[in-house]
Structure 1
Amino acid sequence: MAVNNEISYTSVDNLWLDPLNPRLGRGNTGPAVKQSTIMGLMRDWTLDELAVSFIESGFWPQEALLVVREKLYGKDVLVVVEGNRRLAALKFLKRAADGEKIDRRWKEIVEEIPPPAALFDRVPYIEVSSRKDVEAFLGFRHVTGIKEWKPAEKAEYIAKLIEGSKLTYAQVMRKIGSKTPTVRQNYISYRLLLQMEEQDTISIEHVEEKFSVLFLSLRTEGVQKYLHIDIMAEPNDARTPVPVEYLKQMSNFALWLFGSETRAPIVRDSRQVDQFGQILLSTKAVEYLEKTSRPSFETAFSLAGGDEPEIIRLVDEAAFNVAAALSRAHRYAKSKKLRKAAAQLGQDTLQLLSLFPDLTEELIAEKAK
Structure 2
Amino acid sequence: MSQEYRKINIKDLKLDIFNPRLPKSKQGKDEALIIEYMLLEAATLELMMAIGENDYFAGEQLLVVPDKEEDGKFIVVEGNRRLTAVKLLSNPDLAKVKKESLKKINAEADYKPTDIPCLVFEEKESILKYLGFRHITGIKSWRLLEKARYLNDLKEQEFKGVNFGQACRDIAKMIGSSSSYIRRLLTGLTLYRKVEDEGFYQIDGLNDTKFHLNYFVDALNKQHLRNFIGVDFNEDKPVEKLNPKNLKAITHWWFEKTEGQPRVLGDSKGLKKLDAVVSNEVALKAFSEEGATIDEAFDLTGQIDVLFRKEIDKSLAALTRADIYSTKVKDFYTGMYDDLKTLREIALKIRNYQRQRENQDDDF
Give the CA deviation at 1:130: 0.7
Tell whether the 8 Å contact from 2:36 to 2:95 is kept in structure 1 after alignment: no
Is 1:218 the counterpart of 2:224? The answer is no
Say which of 352, 355, 360 aligns to 1:350: 355
User: Which residue type is aligned with residue 217 of structure 1?
Assistant: A
Query: Which residue is equivalent to 2:193?
Result: 194
Please tell me the root mean square deviation across aligned C-alpha atoms, in Å. 3.4
- 2: CA distance, partners of 1:88 / 1:190: 28
- 2: CA distance, partners of 1:98 / 1:276: 48
CA displacement, residues 83-116 of structure 1 (integer Å, 9 cap, x when unaligned): 1111011011112399999522222222223425
- 2: CA distance, partners of 1:63 / 1:216: 33
Query: Which residue is equivalent to 1:59?
Result: 56
User: Which residue type is aligned with residue 279 of structure 2?
Assistant: L
Give the CA deviation at 1:253: 1.8
CA displacement, residues 251-280 of structure 1 (integer Å, 9 cap, x when unaligned): 222222332699953113513112211111
Query: Which residue is equivalent to 2:15?
Result: 17
- 2: CA distance, partners of 1:104 / 1:52: 14
Query: Once the two structures are aligned, what percentage of the paired residues are identical?
Result: 22
Is 1:41 the counterpart of 2:37? The answer is yes
* Stretches of structure 2 lacking an aligned partner (at least 5 in a row): 161-166, 318-347
Tell whether the 8 Å contact from 1:18 to 1:84 is kept in structure 2 after alignment: yes
Query: Which residue is equivalent to 2:182?
Result: 183
Tell whether the 8 Å contact from 2:121 to 2:127 is kept in structure 1 after alignment: yes
User: Which residue type is aligned with residue 352 of structure 1?
Assistant: R
Tell whether the 8 Å contact from 1:227 to 1:242 is kept in structure 2 after alignment: no
Tell whether the 8 Å contact from 1:97 to 1:115 is kept in structure 2 after alignment: no
The DSSP-based 3-state class of the residue aligned with 1:79 is strand
Distance 1:282 1:65, change over 3 A: same
Give the CA deviation at 1:152: 0.9
Say which of 291, 297, 308 aligns to 2:294: 297
- 2: CA distance, partners of 1:219 / 1:268: 16
Equivalences for 1:316-327 in 2 at 5 Å?
A: none
Give the CA deviation at 1:140: 1.1
Say which of 249, 252, 255 aligns to 1:255: 252
Distance 1:25 1:254, change over 3 A: same
User: Which residue type is aligned with residue 188 of structure 1?
Assistant: T
- 1: CA distance, partners of 2:75 / 2:216: 33
Tell whether the 8 Å contact from 1:67 to 1:127 is kept in structure 2 after alignment: yes
CA displacement, residues 189-221 of structure 1 (integer Å, 9 cap, x when unaligned): 111111223336724736862111121111111
Tell whether the 8 Å contact from 1:93 to 1:110 is kept in structure 2 after alignment: yes
Distance 1:145 1:233, change over 3 A: farther
Give the CA deviation at 1:139: 0.9
User: Which residue type is aligned with residue 51 of structure 2?
Assistant: F
Tell whether the 8 Å contact from 2:66 to 2:72 is kept in structure 1 after alignment: yes
- 1: CA distance, partners of 2:79 / 2:357: 65
Structure with bigger helix share is 1
Say which of 279, 285, 288 aligns to 1:287: 285
CA displacement, residues 119-146 of structure 1 (integer Å, 9 cap, x when unaligned): 11x2111110111101011111111211
The DSSP-based 3-state class of the residue aligned with 1:123 is strand
Distance 1:346 1:280, change over 3 A: closer
Counting matched residue pairs gives 321
- 2: CA distance, partners of 1:315 / 1:96: 64
Give the CA deviation at 1:153: 1.0
TM-score scaled by structure 1?
0.76
- More displaced stretch, 304-313 vs 122-131: 304-313
TM-score scaled by structure 2?
0.77
Distance 1:184 1:232, change over 3 A: farther
Query: Which residue is equivalent to 1:170?
Result: 169
Distance 1:261 1:123, change over 3 A: farther
- 2: CA distance, partners of 1:284 / 1:210: 29
Tell whether the 8 Å contact from 2:17 to 2:30 is kept in structure 1 after alignment: yes
Distance 1:174 1:355, change over 3 A: farther
Tell whether the 8 Å contact from 1:97 to 1:110 is kept in structure 2 after alignment: no
Query: Which residue is equivalent to 2:120?
Result: 127
